[in-house]
Amino acid sequence: MLLPEGVLINGMTGAVSPETGKYTKRLSELSEVFQDRAELDRQVAEKGDPIVYEVVEYKKEGSDIFFGTTTMEPGNVNGEYYMTRGHFHQRRDMGEVYYTQSGHGVLLLESRDGRTEVVRMDPGVCAFIPPDWAHRSINVGDEKLVFVWVCNVEAGHDYGDILKRGMRKLVVDRGEGLILVDNPRFAD
User: Where do contacts with ligand F6R occur on this chain (CB under 6 A)?
Assistant: 55, 70, 84-87, 96, 135, 137, 149, 151, 155, 157
> Residue 59 or 85: which CB sits closer to ligand F6R?
85
Residues in the chain: 188
Taking the complex as a whole, the smallest distance from the CB of residue 96 to ligand F6R amounts, in Å, to 5
Taking the complex as a whole, the smallest distance from the CB of residue 167 to Zn ion amounts, in Å, to 14
Taking the complex as a whole, the smallest distance from the CB of residue 188 to ligand F6R amounts, in Å, to 21
- Residue with smallest beta-carbon separation from Zn ion: 96
Q: Residue 123 in contact with residue 143, Cβ under 8 Å?
A: no
Taking the complex as a whole, the smallest distance from the CB of residue 72 to ligand F6R amounts, in Å, to 8
Q: Residue 103 in contact with residue 139, Cβ under 8 Å?
A: yes
> Residue 40 or 155: which CB sits closer to ligand F6R?
155
Whole-angstrom CA distances from 49 to 44, 46, 52, 149 are: 4, 8, 9, 26
Please give the radius of gyration of the chain, using alpha carbons only, rounded to the nearest integer. Answer: 16
Asked if 54 interacts with Zn ion (CB under 5 A), we say no
Question: Of 128, 132, 26, which is closest to residue 85 (Cα–Cα)?
Answer: 26
Site for Zn ion in 59-118 (CB under 5 A): 96
Taking the complex as a whole, the smallest distance from the CB of residue 126 to Zn ion amounts, in Å, to 15
- What is the torsional sign of CA 80, 160, 69, 46? negative
Q: If residue 132 lies in a helix (H) or strand (E), which one and from where to where?
A: none
Q: Which does 70 bind (CB under 5 to 8 A by kind): Zn ion, ligand F6R, none?
A: ligand F6R
Q: Could you tell me how many residues of this chain bind Zn ion (CB under 5 A)?
A: 1
Number of other CB atoms surrounding residue 61 within 10 Å? 7
> Residue 44 or 107: which CB sits closer to Zn ion?
107
Interface positions with Zn ion (CB under 5 A)? 96
